[in-house]
Structure 1
């Protein structure tokens, strides 16, 4: 373990040598208490706005980061005893209509004219909030973690208005202090403002951000300087009850219709302005958008992100520990096969340097599966060190209640407990050029079969032209995380990658350059089991269209049987070796057009000296800002010797977003998945009749294509109301 020790010492050394003054500390916007009442109407006419300090002279981020923006933006902020206010005047630089997809909430950043701002209330350059809107008034809000990561599933209470003029569009918003988390007495917050104007293809920011980083990077925020400490949020208790009615029928089992009549409640209690307690009783998540189906040719489980509101605030304290393939805690494991009865979650800042997360959730017994009631406990403690780095410890416990595993192999057995304990160091230098992570994990199970160990680390360097990364992972054979996401065990992995980007002096081409990497897997006996080596060449035009061509080599030594079509055919035995070359392309059209399209292709070898061909397309058209239509297709053709022969399957589906206003939405998608022989229809209607209060109607239908027949069908009506005590 000498090499990992040297690696950890190296990244810690980088962290502490990067201490220094905040990069954009000289960019300061003064905020003073409003001298008049503010009406959120998109009109800059109140005396308080005329007296407010102005943030202007934005810097261009793309296509170049060496000059001021050509698109003028002016921002003012003020506050009163209850709310923080912001108004942004977004001037046009060219004639023509604004460009947006729809009025859909939490829109795609790169496909909408938008104004977004990023707040760091603790000025720790690591965690914060993001709010904004596109030019048609669709809202954007998200939680920020790890310096620039954005979770747009978070939803909270605030109001905004966008008003369009011939030469500009104006965004105005009111954000209750109760919606935010901040330390009492602090008079300087980190803040930055971002503007994307697709007509000029220009992205800009008030405090300058190098173009290799997202405009949301908190390392490059300026300062919001308060005339007095922000007012205390006062009593901050929100009760969010729901009532639900619905019906479900399983036609395959020929059972009767099951009717649902449920009530439940969430509560948010602000213990301090930076520490929050979330409670839930009999939660229901039927309004959460259904995961769209994907074609699966992978040997391992696929990952789908968490979308349920209860798990989101400060979710990085729990879910960001580890890597994409090594997560000791994955909240979607909870409530997957058993109903959640109640839960509590404490999370937030203790002070500028310490954050805490503690969660306890109880699920009910499922008699027909002999599944016992289970309790889930997660505890996390994080300490900021160096410039923007931190050390995090985590403990995860899954405990079966009053349960003894049955004797006999024929009976379903559940473990009495599974526990994980981990420590992680996250590196982020003050200028964000160096980032990385190093972690260790230990697991325990009652009979010792789940006692295992994990070590993993990575180091990334990202300058204007050059980016490179080294990462390695070790997961022991017996490591077990029953409440985590660890689809593969018993391996070592090393993965170096590098990329170089050229920025030519061209009126049309923005950048181009190669990226190359390789990933080697070895089992715990040191035998190589996998290798993927790739070479990409990327082109990006000023219009924001993109094209990539790539080539790659794959080698696989199967560790367990696998059906290479994932469609129920013959399995290749463990020990099978396969290698092949493949190549492909990817293209995304410019987002300014009403008609947009993208495609990707793949052609090359496959298992048993076979071949695999894949083409994916997406066509989109928008009747802005009210309707956006997209049609996606994914076709795979696998040619192999007997007994597999030729296997081909489609995944096809249209998606229609109808946004009648920025509070009234209808989303419908249909998918035909030939691989699993299913047609899925999901329609979701949402009426936000008050901020964070909604009426949902959700219809889901699954069908067998040939001969056509209904598998199951459900209809849910749900009403939620956000009530501030």
Structure 2
């Protein structure tokens, strides 16, 4: 209890962990970058003389299906560095090219279950940050920021780069060009952290150059190799100007007039040195942003939807705060609070942002001015909001930092939030294991907040291949409500203990088993319990084929202190409830043209029963076409009323090339009874310019056998980035 009440005294224990983690650091492998004498044409064919004169690296080992095994096919990697760009050439040898798994061509699609290569670079050589580039055998590009110190990836980040592939009788080849202006880097370094990974999907095989250990994550740049012989980079003036022109036709309601708008938008950025970027946006437009995927909600807490807007995603890794925070407890800064109120867009007049790194210090600042707007019958004035984050690297892989925000989306006075966090991480605990531990504390205020406005917590995590153990604790004050944050429940103590044991049996059909137990307990500040859950997985087997089967048992408790409406006309009354949920789940390997996942939760639910059926189905008849179906069906039978909920979505992808795609996404749910269609044509006519043609259409089923138009929109957006 003493640690709970004084979380930062808990940090003293981290010194003990640090002492245990000290060991002999193995030498990092290195690859020498070549120089460019002629010209490289990015076409996926490595036939230029400069490629032949560049040092080649082919020393790969497998992490799957066995650790440090020999790959089933050779992989050859070359890197050329100039003052303006990094070129990466990869030859992926394959004895049977016809069996290469390649479906996707869409930018930023999930290519993890296809043949692909993935590159991570650490231009600061700090072991805590990095950029990830990946490309599959169809030239579908994926880029991301290293997140959570390598445990995860922020895949919503985008930058300007090129990639092309070719397939021949020997396998497939990839050619990548990354302009130096597209990333931050530490000036004066002649070597960067670098690693590369290849997936051979039909064999369920993963190979790496460096960090060839299952206990380590590919994104952990502290374990990456080194790319050496780098030149003095020249980013020019460091100025990027991206004007956009947006024309739209908008119709609100069946009887409304169609309104035409033609509006310019401008984003500009200026480098202040090689590793600091200042950005401004004027009359910001997000027409190209995909619509949110709808969700069903059977809880009394708000749903979380991720950020998708490019302006807020740039440098978003710097704003990450507090190991152990998240959408189920606390997010002190949630950028969707800016420019969105009740899922309705609020015009952004202008915004400015600065983010980067100086030495071992990462920092970011964001300020936005939104226009006046009306919502739910109320009018709100224009308002200014801002957030600031500073994070100092310590202990090689650890950090200490602070965060602060001011302003309120609804213009409420006196709004601010501040906090401190410390995260200790090592990838060398007892030699070669991962260990992460951290603590954080926050305080928020506003004119309407009167009681406890603080929050704090800690987490200890041992995330490794065979054992993954974690302990999380958070205390959220009853009036802790940061205006620019996300807090699903207030006035609680939240505790969670997780254990995953994942052996790899020497069986012909099963590759790995996951025996999971996750226990969570939530009680109010005054000590009365609110919720508990014990999630268990007696069966969770990943097969050699790539398929997966799982069975779960989950006892649940809910102490309902105020009635809440779980579905239209069905209200859960005040009482204490104890019930048990069961799940059967099967996942079908994505190496097949037809793949997906089916899940069935069933069992008692409050004082009744509930069946939750979920289906995800992907069909890729060719590289040109792709279909994705998702469906959720909830069937509840309760003493206070029955309910049936259905949510379906269908996405059709028409992939002409990796630079020209047509996507159509339709959604319908029986709660809102709204059929929504979002169709987009995206043409990347150059690495620096693209065109979007977007069609949005929403109609309401008013239960009178008639569909009523809610809104309709056609948007044409053209943008181009000028770099100097």
TM-score (norm: length of structure 2): 0.94
Confirm or deny: 8 A CA contact 1:137 1:161 kept in the other structure: yes
Query: Which SS does the other structure have where 1:480 is aligned?
Result: coil
Confirm or deny: 8 A CA contact 2:408 2:483 kept in the other structure: no
Matches within 5 A, 1:190-209: 190-209=193-212
User: Aligned in 2, Cα 1:570/1:613: closer, same or farther, shift over 3 Å?
Assistant: closer
Q: How many residues align?
A: 703
Return the match for 1:150 from 153, 161, 171. Answer: 153
Matches within 5 A, 1:81-230: 81-94=83-96, 96-148=98-150, 149-226=152-229, 228-230=230-232
Residue 82 of structure 2 is aligned to residue 73 of structure 1: no
Confirm or deny: 8 A CA contact 2:154 2:317 kept in the other structure: no
CA–CA distance in 1 between the matches of 2:293 and 2:208?
34
User: Aligned in 2, Cα 1:362/1:450: closer, same or farther, shift over 3 Å?
Assistant: farther
Confirm or deny: 8 A CA contact 2:119 2:134 kept in the other structure: yes
Corresponding position of 2:507: 506
Corresponding position of 1:403: none
Query: Which SS does the other structure have where 1:417 is aligned?
Result: coil
Corresponding position of 2:647: 651
Query: Which SS does the other structure have where 1:522 is aligned?
Result: strand
Return the match for 1:358 from 365, 370, 374. Answer: 365
CA–CA distance in 1 between the matches of 2:305 and 2:197?
29
User: Aligned in 2, Cα 1:12/1:240: closer, same or farther, shift over 3 Å?
Assistant: farther
CA–CA distance in 2 between the matches of 1:42 and 1:459?
45
Return the match for 1:430 from 427, 432, 442. Answer: 427
Deviations 1:82-134 (A, max 9, x none): 11111000011445332122211122133211011000111111111111210
User: Aligned in 2, Cα 1:655/1:37: closer, same or farther, shift over 3 Å?
Assistant: same
Q: Using the TM superposition, give the Cα deviation of residue 20 of structure 1 relative to its aligned residue in structure 2, in angstroms.
A: 5.9
Confirm or deny: 8 A CA contact 1:147 1:219 kept in the other structure: no
User: Aligned in 2, Cα 1:15/1:256: closer, same or farther, shift over 3 Å?
Assistant: farther
Query: Which SS does the other structure have where 1:311 is aligned?
Result: helix
CA–CA distance in 1 between the matches of 2:232 and 2:19?
31
Report the more deviating stretch, 7-16 or 175-184.
7-16
Query: Which SS does the other structure have where 1:370 is aligned?
Result: strand
Corresponding position of 2:326: 323
Deviations 1:488-539 (A, max 9, x none): 1000011111011111112321011311121000101101110011111310
CA–CA distance in 2 between the matches of 1:559 and 1:606?
17
Q: Using the TM superposition, give the Cα deviation of residue 450 of structure 1 relative to its aligned residue in structure 2, in angstroms.
A: 6.7
Confirm or deny: 8 A CA contact 1:93 1:200 kept in the other structure: no
Corresponding position of 1:7: 10
CA–CA distance in 2 between the matches of 1:525 and 1:132?
50
CA–CA distance in 1 between the matches of 2:561 and 2:261?
45
Confirm or deny: 8 A CA contact 2:68 2:212 kept in the other structure: no
Confirm or deny: 8 A CA contact 2:415 2:445 kept in the other structure: yes
Return the match for 2:393 from 384, 388, 398. Answer: 384
Residue 250 of structure 2 is aligned to residue 248 of structure 1: yes
Report the more deviating stretch, 238-247 or 143-152.
143-152
Confirm or deny: 8 A CA contact 1:15 1:387 kept in the other structure: no
Matches within 5 A, 1:384-423: 384-398=393-407, 414-423=411-420
Corresponding position of 2:531: 530
Matches within 5 A, 1:474-623: 474-536=475-537, 537-565=539-567, 567=568, 569-573=569-573, 575-607=574-606, 609-623=607-621
Corresponding position of 2:311: 310
User: Aligned in 2, Cα 1:237/1:20: closer, same or farther, shift over 3 Å?
Assistant: farther
Confirm or deny: 8 A CA contact 2:216 2:427 kept in the other structure: no
Quote the RMSD (CA, aligned, Å). Answer: 1.9
Corresponding position of 1:277: 278
CA–CA distance in 2 between the matches of 1:718 and 1:21?
55
CA–CA distance in 2 between the matches of 1:237 and 1:635?
51
Corresponding position of 2:265: 264
The runs of 5 or more residues in structure 2 that have no matched partner are: none
Query: Which SS does the other structure have where 1:199 is aligned?
Result: helix
Residue 347 of structure 2 is aligned to residue 339 of structure 1: yes
Confirm or deny: 8 A CA contact 2:596 2:618 kept in the other structure: yes
CA–CA distance in 2 between the matches of 1:534 and 1:84?
46
CA–CA distance in 2 between the matches of 1:274 and 1:624?
42
CA–CA distance in 1 between the matches of 2:223 and 2:212?
6
Deviations 1:299-345 (A, max 9, x none): 11111111111111220222445422301111011011431111110
CA–CA distance in 2 between the matches of 1:356 and 1:528?
39
Confirm or deny: 8 A CA contact 1:155 1:692 kept in the other structure: no
Corresponding position of 1:231: 233
CA–CA distance in 2 between the matches of 1:372 and 1:106?
37
Deviations 1:162-204 (A, max 9, x none): 0111121110111111112111111221110010011221011
TM-score (norm: length of structure 1): 0.94
The runs of 5 or more residues in structure 1 that have no matched partner are: 401-412
CA–CA distance in 2 between the matches of 1:225 and 1:22?
19
CA–CA distance in 2 between the matches of 1:453 and 1:539?
42
CA–CA distance in 2 between the matches of 1:717 and 1:296?
34
Query: Which SS does the other structure have where 1:332 is aligned?
Result: helix
CA–CA distance in 1 between the matches of 2:41 and 2:717?
32
CA–CA distance in 1 between the matches of 2:448 and 2:512?
56
Confirm or deny: 8 A CA contact 1:444 1:451 kept in the other structure: no
Residue 700 of structure 2 is aligned to residue 704 of structure 1: yes
CA–CA distance in 1 between the matches of 2:368 and 2:504?
51
Query: Which SS does the other structure have where 1:284 is aligned?
Result: coil
Corresponding position of 2:378: 369
Q: Using the TM superposition, give the Cα deviation of residue 570 of structure 1 relative to its aligned residue in structure 2, in angstroms.
A: 4.1
User: Aligned in 2, Cα 1:577/1:133: closer, same or farther, shift over 3 Å?
Assistant: same
Corresponding position of 2:656: 660
Confirm or deny: 8 A CA contact 2:321 2:332 kept in the other structure: no
Query: Which SS does the other structure have where 1:704 is aligned?
Result: strand
Corresponding position of 1:677: 673
Confirm or deny: 8 A CA contact 1:443 1:450 kept in the other structure: no
Q: Using the TM superposition, give the Cα deviation of residue 45 of structure 1 relative to its aligned residue in structure 2, in angstroms.
A: 2.4
